[in-house]
């Protein structure tokens, strides 16, 4: 068997840092966009086109593109890219009247916390219960078996398909 490379915690954190910064920027852009909508008193239930609703995506896209172009720090560029991504999502919502993030619980109109996104459902399998004293023992035989349990056959390699 060949030995694989060991993956360290630092390598994992280094790989997750980029996407985490983009998500952070997207969350920050969404929060800023809500503040813009609140300040301009944009009606989210309005079915016709609303010019005031364009302010949020324009500001988000401008901040995201400007930050990605002008900032020198690579981490801040990733955060700015996330802000720009929130501007794209807001633009789609304003122009098409469909929230592209609505499939993700809580990311559309109201931001969910990371804990809510990563929460797993409890798994409770429906297994029968064993009662005391209801156990049976069986003799299992196999080819080349002997009564001498001190002898064993060493397996050098197992191939899993």
Q: Give per-residue pLDDT as tens, 74-93.
A: 889 999 999 999 888 888 88
- Is 66 inside a domain boundary? yes
Report whether 99 contacts 93 (CB < 8 A): yes
- Is 132 inside a domain boundary? no
The rounded distance, in Å, linking the Cα atoms of 84 and 76 is 12
Structural domain harbouring 111: 18-116
The rounded distance, in Å, linking the Cα atoms of 40 and 51 is 11
Report whether 63 contacts 36 (CB < 8 A): no
The count of structural domains within the chain is: 1
Tens of pLDDT, residues 16-39? 888 889 889 998 888 988 888 888
């Amino acid at each position: 068997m060949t030995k694989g490379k060991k993956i360290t915690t630092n390598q994992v954190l280094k790989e997750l840092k980029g996407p985490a910064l983009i998500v952070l920027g997207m969350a920050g852009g969404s929060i800023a966009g809500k503040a813009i909508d609140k300040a301009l008193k944009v009606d989210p239930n309005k079915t016709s086109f609303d010019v005031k609703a364009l302010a949020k995506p324009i500001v988000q896209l401008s901040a995201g593109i400007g930050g990605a172009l002008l900032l020198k720090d690579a981490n801040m560029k990733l955060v700015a890219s996330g802000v720009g991504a929130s501007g794209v999502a807001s633009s789609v919502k304003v122009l098409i009247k469909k929230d592209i993030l609505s499939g993700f619980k809580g990311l559309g109109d109201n931001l969910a916390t990371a804990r809510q996104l990563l929460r797993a459902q409890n798994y409770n399998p429906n297994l029968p219960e064993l009662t005391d004293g209801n156990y049976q023992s069986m003799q299992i035989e196999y080819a080349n078996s002997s009564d001498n349990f001190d002898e064993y056959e060493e397996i050098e390699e197992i191939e899993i398909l």
